[in-house]
Amino acid sequence: MFRRVAIIGGGAAAATLLGELLQRPSPHLLHLDWYTGSGAPVRGVAYGTRSARHLLDVRAATMSLFAGKARSFLDFVQRDDPGIAGTDFLPRHRYGDYLEVEVAHALQSGKAHGHDVHLIPVMVDALVPETGAVTVMHGEEAHQLDAAVLALGTLPPTPLTGVDPAALDSGRYVVDPWPLLADDRVEAAPRKVILLGMGPTAIDVVLELSSRWPLAEFIAISRHGLLPESHMNTAAAPPDSAGLIEAMQEVPDIRYWLHLLREAIDQGTQWRALIDSLRPHTASLWTDLPLEQRARFLRHARWAWERARHRMPPAVSETITALERQGRLRRRRGRPQSVQCDGDVLQLVINHAGQPHRLQADMIIQCTGADIDLRRTDHRLLSQLLTNAHIAADPLGLGVMADNQGRLLHEGRPWPHVFALGALLRGTLWEANAMPEIRQQARVVADQLLAN
């Protein structure tokens, strides 16, 4: 087993692994260095919001932190409100509260069992895998451990191509919306706001800012001009999809898969339940896809999958629909081409059907979602690992190359003592950054770290 382990990252994925390691019986004492970064540990970006408008996009019953404690989140919230049901969509800040309590309990349990845990609130600068050990460096300090786990979440967003530096300097082009949402001290509320993207991030932004700025109008822009689908008010039982899964495994081809899904829906299967039934099998199906088929999926079907997979809670969908009916939220199709600063306004050029269209806004907010493309990141640790060829970037821009056990690949072979967890594994597992998948990944990594 690996007795000395570095966990690098301060969000929910790191917290899940910490709990898995500390709450299992172990024949040996552990030394864990948890590098939580400079922000508030545990909550991360997803659960750091304090807005009651930002809801979990899955039902409460499925949000346990640990694979072996299915009801723990539901039990936590029902202690305060017994009327909460497992089918409810709860505020994300409540899940952040739950994470903090679970981590505190895990730390207490670990201490009682003699484990040594250090919370280190810094960013790791470099990591050097060696034979039988890993050296972790930050500032002037270096620590040698048996293993390291990268649980970094998504990468810091970078401006889209074509954004003029003057637009960035003006402060009216917002690359990362979360600091803006956390700070309500904007002196002059903008009247026209453009959102680049229509996924979950854009939904969060418009929910919060439409309330904060009651006179503002929002234009959301994406390639297809479509918002995420909505959950049903009641949960549907997943269909028996064993035959469908078997047929998909026999022919790993995206076009054929789409034919099978359409056929199942045409025969009466409710599409939401069908998508949900695929979720436990997504990683194995993705693994079966050749690289060219994965690329085809990203080009032609990803947008449709994301809309169907990451659905809005019914209450959120109702609010968004109301904003559209009021004329405060409008949608447009197009691809952003350039953003220029023109006095007190921003000039955006989008391309749709081969034609340029110009739009003006007081503020433009980039809502393009998670960035996990290591090929263009300036993340210090990941850049160091790539530069020194300790790891390899996924060729499709989906995180890091790894095997199905989460071990990072080096020259095509897995490191025995360097792992990844969460969003960085999207190229390996596809579904990698939601709690049901993260808790399973954490269990797999913990199994390897604690194996005799």
- Tell me, what amino acid is at 32? L
Which pLDDT score is estimated for 17?
A: 95
Q: Model confidence at 186, in pLDDT bands (50, 70, 90)?
A: low
> Is 369 in contact with 200 (CB distance < 8 Å)?
yes
Structure tokens at 78: 């029902």
Sign of dihedral through CA atoms 302, 304, 307, 308?
A: negative
Percent of the chain with pLDDT over 70: 99
Mean pLDDT of 430-439: 90
Going by the DSSP 8-state scheme, the letter that residue 400 receives in this structure is: B
Q: In CATH terms, are 4-156+371-450 and 165-230+311-366 the same topology?
A: yes
pLDDT digits (tens, 9 = 90+) for 13-66: 999 999 999 988 877 899 999 999 977 788 888 898 999 999 999 999 989 888
CATH fold for the domain made of 165-230+311-366: FAD/NAD(P)-binding domain (3.50.50)
pLDDT in tens, 226-277: 999 999 988 777 788 899 999 999 999 999 999 999 999 999 889 999 999 9
Domain boundaries, the chain: 4-156+371-450, 165-230+311-366, 242-303
Residue 282 clears pLDDT 90, i.e. is over it: yes
pTM for the complete prediction? Answer: 0.93
Q: Would the pLDDT of 89 be above 90?
A: yes
Helix segments in 311-412, DSSP class H? 314-325, 380-387
What would the mean pLDDT of 378-393 be, rounded to a whole number?
95
**Sequence-distant (≥ 6) Cβ neighbours of residue 278 within 8 angstroms:** 241, 245, 285
pLDDT for 452 equals 65
Residue-level pLDDT at 410: 93
Exposed/middle/buried for 267, CB within 10 Å: 0-12, 13-18, 19+?
A: exposed
pLDDT tens digit string along 175-185? 999 999 988 77
336 versus 376: which is more confidently predicted? Answer: 336
Gap between the Cα atoms of 153 and 139, Å rounded: 22
Identify the band that residue 319 occupies on the pLDDT scale cut at 50, 70 and 90: very high
> Which residues make Cβ contacts (< 8 Å) with residue 248, sequence separation at least 6?
256, 257, 260, 285
- The rounded mean pLDDT for the chain is 93
Report whether CATH 3.50.50.60 matches the domain 4-156+371-450: yes
Which two structure tokens, joined as six digits, stand for 428? 């390996």
